[in-house]
Amino acid sequence: MKRRQTRRRVLTTAGVVVTATAAGCTNDETSGSEPTDEEGTTSTDDKTTTTDGDADRDSSNGRDVAVGSKRFTENVLLAELSVSLLSRVDGVTSVLEETIGERTTVQSFVDTEYGGLDHYWEYTGTLFRSHYAHESPETIEEVRKLAADDDIAVLEPGGFDNTYELVTTDSFASEHGLETLTDLAEKFGDSDVRFGLGDEFVHRIDGWRGFVDAYDVDADRANEITSDAEVVPAGSTYDLLEAEEVDVVMGFSTDPELGGADLVALEDDRSFFPTYNPVALVHQPTLEAVPEIEAPLNDLASLLDSTETMRELIARVDDDGEDPSTVATAFLAEER
C-alpha cells in the first residue's frame, strides 16, 4: 500500500485539530479496531487517555457528564448536538467537552466502558461488525445485552445511514460500464483500475478486506491491488479523484461530495456493507445516576432521520467553515 499525506479538510474544536475522516473507522488488522499501546491505556495524538476506572464526576448537586467523539466532522457534530441538549438536563451539573474530536473508535468505546467517558455516538454497523463481531448478534436487542455486560447502554438508533461507498466519476463509470460493485470486481482481473482507500477502511473486515472476499476477488489479485492503492486519510480520498490520480475511491453515504452530479456511488448489489445508523452509547453507571439524559438523546436520534440532513450539516462545517457547535445549536433551534 502506498501511504500518502494529501491535503486534508480539518476543523478545530475545543482546541483540537480534527481530520474530516469517516465514521467508525479503526485499523486493526484482525478485528477492525486500533490496538492499544499497553494494557489500560490508549494513545491519542497529543496525550494518553487512561481507561482504568470510572471518573469521579458525582457531586451533591448532580453529575458532570463527559462527552467525546471520534476524529471526523460528522461525529464531532453529533457530539456537539449532545452537548447542547445535555447542558439543559436536570441532574447534569456541567457537560465536559474537552475530549470531542480526540478519540478513535476503540478509544471511545473502551473509555465509555470504563467510565473515562460518559457518552459518545457510535454506529450500528460498527457495533455489529466490529465491537461484537465475534458474538455475531443479529438484532439491536442482542447488541444491547452484550453491551450491558460492558457497562454500556445502547440507546435508540437514528435514521440516517453512513455506510461505506465505492465512488467513481460519471465518465469513468460510463466508459467501463460500471453500475454495481460486481461490475467493479469483474474489472479487477483484466484492468488497471487505480484505487484511493482510507487508511482505516483498507484494514477493516467490514471494509476493503471484507469487500474483496464478499465479491469473490482472487486473493492474489486483491493483494496486488491493495499494495498498489493510494492510502490516505478518508477525508482526502476525493482529492485523489479530483486530481485524476485514481479512478475509484472509498467514501461514505453522508459525504457532501456525493450530492454532485459528476460522482457515482456504485451499488452494493450483494449487500455486503452493513447499515451504519448513529446510536448514542452511555456509560451505564452514568445513566443510572442521571436517567434524565436518556430521553433527550433518544429524541435527538429521531431528529437525525436522513442522509441529506447530515450532508447539509457536514457541508456547513467542511465547505463553509462554520464552527461545529454553532451548526449544532442552529440545527436544534430549527427543529424545536
Work out the angle at residue 139's Cα, subtended by the Cα atoms of residues 136 and 143, and round it to the nearest 5 degrees.
65
Cβ atoms 49, 42 nearer than 8 A = yes
* Residue partners of 179: CB distance under 8 A and separation at least 6: 173, 266, 267
Q: What is the pLDDT of residue 56?
A: 60
DSSP 97-134: EEETT---HHHHHHHHHHTS-SEEEEEHHHIIIIITGG
Those residues of the chain that have pLDDT short of 50 are 4-53, 55, 60
Sign of the Cα torsion 206, 211, 215, 219 reads negative
Distance CA 134, CA 246 (A): 35
**Strand partners for 265:** 167
* Residue partners of 246: CB distance under 8 A and separation at least 6: 194, 195, 196, 229, 230, 237, 240
Distance CA 135, CA 146 (A): 8
Phi, psi (rounded to 5 degrees) for 144: -60, -40
Q: How do residues 196-212 score in pLDDT, each as one tens digit?
A: 999 889 988 889 999 99
Say whether 78 sits in a helix, a strand or coil. Answer: helix
Q: What is the pLDDT of residue 266?
A: 98
Q: What is the pLDDT of residue 191?
A: 72
| Domain 8-161+277-335 homologous superfamily, CATH | Periplasmic binding protein-like II (3.40.190.10)
Per-state percent for the chain, helix, strand, coil, to nearest 5:
40, 20, 40
Closest CA to 234 of 267, 201, 258, 207: 201
CA dihedral 219, 221, 222, 224 (to 10 degrees): 130
Q: What is the pLDDT of residue 316?
A: 97
Q: What is the pLDDT of residue 234?
A: 76
Same CATH topology for 8-161+277-335 and 164-265: the answer is yes
Q: What is the pLDDT of residue 205?
A: 86
Q: What is the pLDDT of residue 26?
A: 41
The 10 Å Cβ neighbour count of residue 290 is 23
Q: Which cell numbers hold the place of 21?
A: 475522516
**Strand partners for 67:** 119
Q: What is the pLDDT of residue 62?
A: 74
Q: What is the pLDDT of residue 253?
A: 95
Enter the pTM of the model.
Answer: 0.80
Q: What is the pLDDT of residue 8?
A: 31
Q: What is the pLDDT of residue 314?
A: 96
Q: What is the pLDDT of residue 1?
A: 64
Q: What is the pLDDT of residue 104?
A: 86
CATH architecture of the domain formed by 164-265: 3-Layer(aba) Sandwich (3.40)
Angle between helices 73-86 and 307-318 (to 10 degrees): 100
Q: What is the pLDDT of residue 257?
A: 92
- The label of the residue with cell 457530539 reads 79
Q: Which cell numbers hold the place of 1?
A: 500500500
Q: What is the pLDDT of residue 3?
A: 52
Q: What is the pLDDT of residue 35?
A: 28
**Domain locations along the chain:** 8-161+277-335, 164-265
Distance CA 256, CA 57 (A): 38
